[in-house]
Every structure is written in structure tokens, then in C-alpha cells.
Amino acid sequence: MIRPKFALATLFASTLALASPAHAVTEIQWWHAMTGGNNDIVNKLAADFNASQSDYKVVPTFKGSYPDTMNAGIAAFRAGTAPHILQVFEVGTATMMSAKGAVKPVYQLMKDAGEPFDPNNYLPAITGYYSTSKGEMLSFPFNSSSMVMWVNLDALKKANIAEIPKTWPEVFEGAKKLKAAGYATCGFSNAWATWANIEQFSAWHNVPIGTKANGLDGFDTELKFNSPLHVKHLQTLIELQKDKTYDYSGRANASESRFGSGECPLFMTSSGYYATAKGTAKFAFTSVPMPYYPDVTGAPQNSIIGGASLWVMGGKKPDEYKGIAKFFSFLSDTDRQAKLHQESGYLPITKAAYEKTKADGFYDKNPILQTPLKELTNKEPTENSRGLRFGNMVQLRDIWSEEIEAALGGQKTAQQALDTAVSRGNAMLRTFEKTAK
Amino acid sequence: MEKSAVFKGKLLPYLLLVPQLVITLVFFYWPASQAVWQSFLREDAFGLNSEFIGLENYQALLAQPEYYKAMATTVVFSSLVAALSLSIALLFATQADKNLKAAPTFKVMMIWPYAVAPAVAGVLWLFIFHPSLGTMARPLRLMGFNWNPMLNGNHAMALVVMAAVWKQIAYNFLFFLAGLQAIPRSVLEAGAIDGAGPYRRFWTITFPLLSPTTFFLLVVNVVYVFFDTFGIIDAVTGGGPAGATTTMVYKVYADGRLGGDLGGSAAQSVILMVIVIALTAIQFRYVERKVQY
């Protein structure tokens, strides 16, 4: 009767021994929100890192949409079980950086771990978004994109438009011609209602979204996007919405398919739409920089980024931090960055990776992937175009979208809508300022 | 001889009640009290800074015109969904109660939608009526009707109401059918012999005898529209356009979970809780009097 039990115990013990190798491997939990092809990239990066050394093991876990992932991270922190690395979308930046103690700034992490780290190696247009005003990097940029205008070249030919529209007046003219040429339900449109019409629009025209360098210099920022230029643009959209020369496409990017299906021949959305466009569009297409008003001095300025970055959570062991630092160095490697950029369409985060891709002649074959980089590096960023950092950004965007929808639906004028968006937004910023002391 | 057992001491009855009480306390009173407590706090998302601010969350909430708009939206949405889902389900149930050949098949088909998750139901309806993808949106537009739930609040409201009603009809149907089958045939036959037509028999016999079921469903439906429909709203409209489909419970979700404003969101859920308690109390106090058990 003893033998089977003994055998079982031996088996158990040997399994345990197999599971824990001679030296302990430190596990690093990485929670992310990447789906589809991007999910595979995340898993491959982790697998490559794990194969490259034997002390640390990065374990990626998919946690749902961007807001889901962020909330999962926050809830886990409150329960004392936060992951080591949390992927947070750009609008969550202010919330994360105000949570002192909950996060460990990346520059601090690299210093403590003794990893070689020079912030000047990274593209400032990208890291500026995730750094303090002193240039200290708080989170590690992972997938960055910017907003571009996608153009259906076959449609332009059909409407006899010889040159791709560059300025807003040209876009309006072009959209009217396209509408007459059979694109009756949508001459031009955009995804991400506020990202396109408020955030990118302001940076691209070098006008402030808010004071204090769009909030980068302090939480006591006030919104400013009810300027005459903003009002003029929204009022034009209201007029064009009436006969669907412009047609609203919602707050997020679910309606990107309107470009791929051929419904909207001019469509502004993220440069990260590339992979989907390539897979779905049955026509010749390209991407160009966002349109601008030529009568605005200095326009176009530079665009700002979107996407997500990796935040390191606080309260972990020094050894674990060391592993995270090693992983970030691994991600910054020039060859790896260049490859990641060329395969996924994400922007490269280091200057070297950008230069290498250029030198390889990659952009000659794939000019579409260079469009966002041209936009981001178009000019030296100003106070108005370095980035933006507003607390409660998710709610702010919802408020702004509501007002834009009210204007396009004909319930408000552009001036009324933007004034209300600003005053409601300011009230929200004051609440955030009180919690973020 | 005394046959009934008498237990002495006061401990045993309480001990027997303990499991039930524990469940009620842990799953109902504890979270509810947490919500009330949270509504007096101003806290960042991570819970690092927490400050007691009394009624400030409520004051801020009641100063927002959007909050009153959400209340009005909730009234419109709830009445439409409750009225439509109850009346359509009653109509279907009376039809299924007839001696038809296909009645069993019909019944099974009617119950299916209840098994569909709210968010999925929302997505299904979105696919049918999406302005550029929807299979029904194209014919509507071809007929010259400018269907656009992305910008027209009434269209968006119609869409979420349809999805919410569709989802709830199955549940109501099931209860109405059971209620109808419990009505004694003899009473209806007596009415028929006395010369009452089907219409009159329904309103003077069936409907009053069905009133316990109707009352139960009214209470359940009100709770359903207040709390369970946000999955549909989230999937179909996300509360838009311009807040036209932001009901109170959706606002709780949007502000708290998406926006990270826990205090304001908790204050809203406390108000919502009070409203639903009051509504249920009114229903039991006044509507129930008309119910004939």
C-alpha cells in the first residue's frame, strides 16, 4: 500500500524540481491591450527577451481594451497585486504621473538599476509626451502613431482631382467634387472626433489647446480651444455636414472601415491604420500629412503622437526593477526598434532606428510609413505642439465629443459648442487638480 | 399529545438565519454602504489621496445641467422600454396561448433572445442599423429618410430602445404565457357563454386575473431598464450623440469606470439607488392595491 503513494510523492517532487530550475527566474508581469497582429508582436518580443537571457522572464497578459487594461492595473494596485509593467494609452498619462508612489518613473528605474540610458537617444517628438518638463522620461513609449489623412487615389482620379489636397480649402473643394462624382454619403471624414478636430488641429496650427503648454507644465491649466480659428473650422464642418460633403464618423475609430470600403475617399485617422488599410482597401491609396489653413502663420507646425506607453508600477523588488530595466534596454536596441517599426507600422522611438530605416531605403518603398514621422519632425515643437497632459482626459474627450456632436447635429453653433466644451472641461480640470495635489 | 416540536432558547433561530443574513450583508449592504461612503470622498484613481469632502460631490453633480438631462433621458428611455416590452410581450403571449399547431415552435423562438448577452444584442442591432454598414440603414436612406444615429439623438434613442425592448420581450413573454395558462378555462368559457366577445373577455377577465404577473413584471422591468441596459447603450451608442442616450446608469459607468471619477460616480449611484428604492416602494404601495391575487 505504501508503494503507490511513494511513487506519487516522487513524481510530485520531481515535477517541482523541473518547474524550478537551479537558479530562480524572476518573473515580470506585463499587462497590455494589444489585439490581433499587435498581440503577436507583444508575445514575440517577450519570447525573444526570455530567450536572450536566463535571469528574467517577461510574462505578457492581454487585459482587454485600453480603458480596461488601465482599470485592471489600477484595481490591481489597490488590491496590492499590480503587474510590473502596465501599458497605458496616451490619454491616461496625466492620471498615471499624478499617482506618485503607484508608479516608478523610467529615468529613476534606469538609474537605480545602473542600466546605460541616455534620453537624448530617443525621438523628442515621442518621448516629450511622456516626460516631465525637465525632460525626465516617466514612461517608456511602446506603440506610437500620429494622425494622417488617408487618400483614395482611384476616387481622386474619378473626380478629376489632379493633386492630393494639402490645405483645408483644397480638401473642402475636393470633397465637393468627390461628392458630385458619386461619393454621395461622405466626401471626407475623420475618426477620433476630438483627437482630429481639437488636439491635432491645435498642434498642427500652433495654437494652444490649453495654457501651461497644454498642461505639460502644470495641472493648473485652462482650456483655450474656443479660439476664432477653432470656431471657423467647426462652423465649416457644420455647413458641410448638412449635405454630407463632410460626414461625422464617431468618437473612436470603429468607422475607419468607411475608408477601406471606399465610402469616404478622404479620411483622417491614425497612421496605425496602415495594416488594416492594406488588408481591406481594394483601391490605390496613400497617406499624406494632415491638411492646414494656409492663412495661419507658421502652419503646419508639427503633429502630436497617440498610442500607448509602458508604465512601471511602484512597490516592487529591486531585482524585479533590474529585469524591467534590462527589458527596456532590449526594446531600445536599434536593430530591434527598426524591425519593429518596419513590421508593425509603429513609430520608432530611437533616433538611430529612424536613421537606420531611412538609410536602408525602406521609406522609398513604403512612403506611407514615413508620413507620421514627417509630421512629427516637421518643425521644432513649441509650447503648443510638444504634447498635452490633462487630467481626467477620458472624460474630457467625452465632453468635447458631446459638444462637437451637438454642433454637427445642428443643436448649437460652433461658438456655443466650443465655449461649453471649454467651460465644462475647465470644471473637470479643477476637480482633477484637487485630487492630484 | 403535543406533536409540534418547540425549540427552547433564542440562539437556534438566529443561528438558522445566519447564512441568509451573512449573504445579504456581504453582497447587498456592504457594497451599498461602501458606495455611500465613497460618495463623500474625493479620491484619485489609485486611492493614494483620499479626502472627506462631505456633500461636495452631490453639489457638483446637481449643478451639472448634463445630470438633469441624463435624468430626463432615463425617464424617456425607461418608459418606452418598459411600456413597449410589456405590451408587445403580452400581445405575443396571448397569441401563443391559442391552440395553434406551431405554438410550441413559436414559444421556443420567442424565448431565444433572452439568452443573448446585452452587449451582443447591442452589436447585433448596431450591425442592422449602422449608418454606413447596416443592412437596414441602406434601404432607409434609399427611401430618402436621413437615418443617422451618429448625430441624430432621436434616431440613436430609437435604436437603443429597439435593442433593449427586443432583449426583454422574451423574458416578459415567458411570464405572461405562464400567467395566461394559469387562468382557469372555465371562467373564460363562462364569459363566452354569457356572450362576451374575445376583446371583452380579455379586458374584463384575462387582464385582471393576469395582474399579479403584470405587476411582478413591471417591477422587474423597471429594475432592468435602470440597471441592465447599459451594456446595450455602451455597445450601440456609447451614450451619444451629444449625450442623447446617456441614461443615469450609463453616466455612473462612464464617469466612474471610464473617467476615474469615483466620488462623483458613487454619488450618482447613491441617487440612483434612492430613486429605484422609491419607485419600487411606490409600486408596492399604490400599484399593488390594484392587483388581484
Phi, psi of A274 (to 5 degrees): -50, -55
Residues B240, A258: C-beta atoms closer than 8 Å: no
Number of residues that this document lists for chain B: 293
Homologous superfamily (CATH) of B65-290 is: MetI-like (1.10.3720.10)
**Residue A22 corresponds to which cell in the numbers above?**
537551479
Q: What is the CATH number of the domain that holds A350?
A: 3.40.190.10
| Alpha-carbon gap: B237 to the closest alpha carbon of chain A (Å) | 9
pLDDT given at position B3: 63
Q: Measured between CB atoms, does B277 come within 8 Å of chain A?
A: no
The angle at the Cα of B77, spanning B76 to B79, to the nearest 5 degrees, equals: 70
Residues A270 and A388 in one domain: yes
pLDDT given at position A165: 96
Who among A77, A257, A435 is closest to B133 (CB)?
A257
Residues A131 and A166 in one domain: no
Residues A78, B238: C-beta atoms closer than 8 Å: no
Pair A286, A368: CB distance under 8 Å: yes
Residues B150, A248: C-beta atoms closer than 8 Å: yes
pLDDT given at position A259: 93
Pair A28, A57: CB distance under 8 Å: yes
Residues A86 and A105 in one domain: yes
Give A20-81 as a DSSP string: S-SSPPEEEEEEE---HHHHHHHHHHHHHHHHH-SSEEEEEEE-SSHHHHHHHHHHHHHTT-
Residues 6+ apart with CB under 8 A from B281: none
Does the CA dihedral A265-A266-A271-A272 come out positive or negative?
A: negative
Residues A118 and A198 in one domain: no
Report how far residue B17's alpha carbon sits from residue A332's, in angstroms, rounded to the nearest whole number.
Answer: 62
pLDDT given at position B115: 82
Who among A78, A102, A434 is closest to B42 (CB)?
A434
Report how far residue A4's alpha carbon sits from residue A435's, in angstroms, rounded to the nearest whole number.
Answer: 62
Amino acid at A382: T
Q: Please name the helix (run of DSSP H) or strand (run of DSSP E) that holds residue A187, with its range, or none.
A: none
Pair A75, A67: CB distance under 8 Å: no
CA nearest to A268, candidates A352, A343, A357, A175: A175
| Alpha-carbon gap: B279 to the closest alpha carbon of chain A (Å) | 30
pLDDT given at position A1: 39
Phi, psi of A350 (to 5 degrees): -105, 150
| Alpha-carbon gap: A42 to the closest alpha carbon of chain B (Å) | 25
In chain A, the residue whose alpha carbon lies closest to the alpha carbon of B52 is A435
| Alpha-carbon gap: A11 to the closest alpha carbon of chain B (Å) | 42
Q: pLDDT by residue (tens digit) across A214-260?
A: 998 888 999 999 999 999 999 999 999 999 999 999 888 878 889 99
Phi, psi of B150 (to 5 degrees): -70, -30
Beta strands in A165-242 (DSSP E): 188-190
CA nearest to A246, candidates A304, A291, A294: A291
C-alpha torsion A354→A356→A358→A364, nearest 10: -120
Residues A295 and A420 in one domain: yes
Query: Residue A426: helix, strand or coil by DSSP?
Result: helix
Number of H helices, E strands in chain A: 21, 9
CA nearest to A337, candidates A180, A167, A127, A170: A127
Contacts B153 to A, Cβ<8 Å:
409
pLDDT given at position A204: 96
Residues B258, A398: C-beta atoms closer than 8 Å: yes
Pairing of strands A56-62, A26-32: parallel
- Tell me whether residue A55 is in a domain: yes
Pair A65, A38: CB distance under 8 Å: no
Query: Residue B51: helix, strand or coil by DSSP?
Result: strand
Q: Measured between CB atoms, does B44 come within 8 Å of chain A?
A: yes
**Residue A366 corresponds to which cell in the numbers above?**
513604403
Contacts A395 to B, Cβ<8 Å:
254-255, 258-261
Whether residue A300 has a cis bond before it, omega within 30° of 0: yes
B264 class by beta-carbon count within 10 Å (0-12 exposed, 13-18 middle, 19+ buried): buried
Residues A402, B46: C-beta atoms closer than 8 Å: no
Q: Which residues of A57-91 are buried (b: 16+ CB within 10 A; e: fewer)?
A: ebebeebeebbebbbbbbebbeeeebbbbbbbbbb
**Residue A201 corresponds to which cell in the numbers above?**
488641429
| Alpha-carbon gap: B108 to the closest alpha carbon of chain A (Å) | 35
Who among B47, B48, B151 is closest to A405 (CB)?
B151
Rg (CA), chain B: 24
- Tell me whether residue A127 is in a domain: yes
Residues A181 and A205 in one domain: yes
pLDDT of chain A, 437 residues: tens digit per residue: 344 454 444 444 444 444 444 467 899 999 999 877 778 889 999 999 999 999 999 999 999 888 889 989 988 998 889 999 999 988 888 888 888 888 999 999 999 998 888 888 888 888 888 888 788 899 999 988 899 999 999 999 999 999 999 999 999 999 999 999 999 889 999 999 999 999 999 999 999 999 999 998 888 999 999 999 999 999 999 999 999 999 999 888 878 889 999 999 999 999 888 878 888 899 999 999 999 999 999 889 999 988 899 999 998 999 999 999 999 999 999 999 988 888 777 889 899 999 999 998 999 988 898 999 999 989 988 889 988 889 888 889 888 999 999 999 999 999 999 999 999 999 889 988 887 76
Residues A218 and A137 in one domain: no
Residues A275 and A421 in one domain: yes
Count other C-beta atoms under 10 Å from residue B293's C-beta.
Answer: 7
Phi, psi of B248 (to 5 degrees): -60, -45
Report how far residue A279's alpha carbon sits from residue A301's, in angstroms, rounded to the nearest whole number.
Answer: 32
pLDDT given at position B7: 67
Residues B46, A74: C-beta atoms closer than 8 Å: yes
**Residue A282 corresponds to which cell in the numbers above?**
481594394
A56 forms bridges with which residues in the sheet? A26
DSSP state of B292: -
Report how far residue A45's alpha carbon sits from residue A30's, in angstroms, rounded to the nearest whole number.
Answer: 11
Pair A263, A432: CB distance under 8 Å: no
CA nearest to A99, candidates A69, A77, A83: A77
Residues A189 and A240 in one domain: yes
Contacts B261 to A, Cβ<8 Å:
392, 395, 431
pLDDT, mean over chain A: 88
| Alpha-carbon gap: A173 to the closest alpha carbon of chain B (Å) | 23
pLDDT given at position B2: 55
Q: Measured between CB atoms, does B143 come within 8 Å of chain A?
A: no
Who among B46, B240, B257 is closest to A405 (CB)?
B240
Residues B242, A405: C-beta atoms closer than 8 Å: yes
Pairing of strands A305-313, A85-89: antiparallel
pLDDT given at position B293: 65
Interface of A with B (CB under 8 A): 67, 71, 74, 77-78, 95, 98-102, 185-186, 241, 248-252, 255, 257-258, 261, 263, 392, 394-395, 398, 401-403, 405-406, 408-409, 411, 424, 427, 431, 434-437
Average pLDDT per block of 10 residues along chain B, 293 residues long: 68 88 91 90 79 87 89 93 94 84 81 82 84 78 80 90 90 91 90 89 90 89 87 84 89 79 88 89 80 69
Domain boundaries, chain B: 65-290
| Alpha-carbon gap: A399 to the closest alpha carbon of chain B (Å) | 8
Pair A381, A300: CB distance under 8 Å: no
Q: Measured between CB atoms, does B59 come within 8 Å of chain A?
A: no
Pair B269, B263: CB distance under 8 Å: no
Residues B150, A102: C-beta atoms closer than 8 Å: no
Who among A248, A252, A434 is closest to B151 (CB)?
A248
Residues B259, A398: C-beta atoms closer than 8 Å: yes
CA nearest to B226, candidates B264, B262, B271, B276: B276
Residues A249, B241: C-beta atoms closer than 8 Å: no
Residues A95, B254: C-beta atoms closer than 8 Å: no
Distance of CA A48 to the CA centre of its chain: 24
pLDDT given at position A301: 95
Report how far residue A210's alpha carbon sits from residue A426's, in angstroms, rounded to the nearest whole number.
Answer: 10
The angle at the Cα of A280, spanning A277 to A283, to the nearest 5 degrees, equals: 80
Residues A46 and A113 in one domain: yes
Task: Show the domain range for A419.
Answer: 146-304+383-435
In chain B, the residue whose alpha carbon lies closest to the alpha carbon of A392 is B259
Contacts A71 to B, Cβ<8 Å:
257
Provide the number of structural domains found in chain A: 2
**Residue A115 corresponds to which cell in the numbers above?**
542600466
Contacts A419 to B, Cβ<8 Å:
none
Residues A401, B240: C-beta atoms closer than 8 Å: yes
- CA A264 to each of CA A171, A186, A258, A379, B149: distance values in angstroms, whole numbers, following the listed order: 13, 5, 6, 30, 18
| Alpha-carbon gap: B163 to the closest alpha carbon of chain A (Å) | 19
Does the CA dihedral B136-B138-B144-B149 come out positive or negative?
A: positive
- Tell me whether residue A9 is in a domain: no
| Alpha-carbon gap: B228 to the closest alpha carbon of chain A (Å) | 19
- Tell me whether residue A157 is in a domain: yes
Residues A414 and A400 in one domain: yes
- Tell me whether residue A102 is in a domain: yes
Interface test with A, best of B38, B41, B73, B151 (most A CBs within 10 A): B151
Residues A411, B242: C-beta atoms closer than 8 Å: yes
Residues A101 and A139 in one domain: yes
